């Protein structure tokens, strides 16, 4: 869904037809990423911050790789569109919770990120009942996710001594604030798209009557 001129959002259209395939290389990569989610949580809770950062970086790299493979070799699938963002959100969730438990980040940061996902998640069932598989990935949402996935590894490294720890703290929090802003900007766009779907359904119901 693009944006029309003058900042007006174009009407919501039916989602494009995507093959319902399971056994693809991108899906296999996404499955492996999901298996790494509990590994990251354990590493963070046990204080193995550098190892956790390495896993998070590997996950981010594999996220880019499976996207390239899916597009280049025509292996885009409905399952892949579900697994890929789900893995991203799970990595963000467990990393945030693990760091909050250890006191590396405040709990309000966890609440802000989880509240955004709750707002979007509440709308998804209504969208699905109207024939939409959910919200298409928006640039703002993807950019926000990327910013957060950069921020959290850096925040894990803030306890390093000297300049590296100081730089990690400054850049990590800058990326975190930017990511939160974009994350909520995407949520506002999704709310507007949801409003359009509800409005179009109301108009259609009025015409049928």
The domain ranges of the chain are 17-208
Mean pLDDT of 86-98: 89
The token duo for 53 is 């950062």
Q: What is the pLDDT confidence band of residue 4, given thresholds at 50, 70 and 90?
A: very low
Q: Which fold has domain 17-208?
A: 1.20.120
**Counts for the chain of helices (H) and strands (E), in that order:** 6, 0
Global pTM value: 0.74
On average, the pLDDT of the chain sits at 81
Phi/psi of residue 131, nearest 5 degrees: 95, 5
DSSP letter string over 100-141? HHTTSS-HHHHHHHHHHHHHHHHHHHHHHHTT--SPPPPHHH
Q: Quick one: average pLDDT of 52-81? A: 80
Judged against a pLDDT cut of 70, whether residue 14 lies above it is answered with no
* pLDDT tens figures, 147-192: 988 899 999 998 888 898 999 999 999 999 999 999 899 999 988 8
Neighbours of 208 (CB within 10 A): 6
Using one digit for the tens of pLDDT, what is the confidence trace for 105-120? 999 999 999 999 898 8
In this structure, the dihedral spanned by the alpha carbons of residues 76, 33, 86 and 67, taken in order and rounded to 10 degrees, is -30
Distance CA 23, CA 26 (A): 9
What SS3 state is found at 19?
A: coil
How far is residue 197's CA from residue 91's CA, in Å, rounded to a whole number? 30
Q: Which of the 8 DSSP states describes residue 5?
A: G
Contact 135, 190 (CB under 8 A): yes
Of 56, 149, 46, whose CA–CA distance to 98 is shortest? Answer: 46
């Amino acid at each position: 869904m693009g944006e029309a001129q003058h900042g007006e959002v174009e009407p919501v259209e039916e989602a494009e037809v995507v093959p319902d395939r399971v056994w693809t290389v991108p899906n296999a990569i996404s499955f492996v990423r999901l298996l790494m989610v509990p590994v990251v949580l354990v590493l963070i809770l046990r204080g193995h911050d550098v190892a956790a950062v390495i896993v998070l970086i590997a996950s981010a790299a594999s996220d880019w790789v499976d996207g390239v493979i899916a597009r280049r070799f025509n292996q885009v699938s409905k399952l892949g569109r579900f697994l890929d963002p789900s893995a991203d959100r799970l990595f963000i969730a467990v990393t945030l919770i693990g760091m909050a438990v250890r006191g590396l980040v405040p709990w309000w940061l966890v609440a802000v990120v989880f509240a955004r996902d709750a707002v979007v998640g509440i709308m998804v069932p209504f969208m699905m009942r109207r024939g939409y598989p959910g919200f298409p990935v928006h640039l703002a949402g993807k950019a926000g996710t990327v910013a957060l996935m950069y921020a959290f590894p850096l925040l894990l490294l803030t306890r390093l001594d000297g300049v590296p720890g100081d730089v990690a703290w400054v850049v990590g929090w800058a990326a975190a604030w930017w990511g939160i802003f974009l994350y909520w900007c995407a949520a506002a766009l999704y709310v507007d798209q949801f409003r359009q779907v509800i409005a179009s359904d109301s108009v259609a119901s009025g015409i049928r009557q």
